Amino acid sequence: MNTFRNLNNLFGWLCFLAAFVVYMLTLQPSVSFWDCGEFISTAYHLQVGHQPGSPLPTRQQTYFIDCSLPS
């Protein structure tokens, strides 16, 4: 019983470590760890944010980014 528990714990930590490494390798460098970075990235790249998506703030941010960046 104790061997199974240790093996289960080891595989759980290995899965967490694998997921964390993939997350860190695919993280956009300019994004902070909260939603404001996601909203900025979503507006700048014209992507869809996580559910529910916040369509109105995304459209507003896209408008202001288009007006502030030189063409």
Q: What's the whole-model pTM score?
A: 0.43
Confidence of residue 8 (pLDDT cuts 50, 70, 90): very high
pLDDT of residue 55: 74
Q: In terms of residues, how long is the chain?
A: 71
More confident site: 39 or 10: 10
pLDDT in tens, 14-59: 999 999 999 888 877 765 555 676 777 777 777 777 666 677 777 7
The three-state DSSP-derived secondary structure of the chain is CHHHHHHHHHHHHHHHHHHHHHHHHHCCCCCCCCHHHHHHHHHHHCCCCCCCCCHHHHHHHHHHHHHHCCC
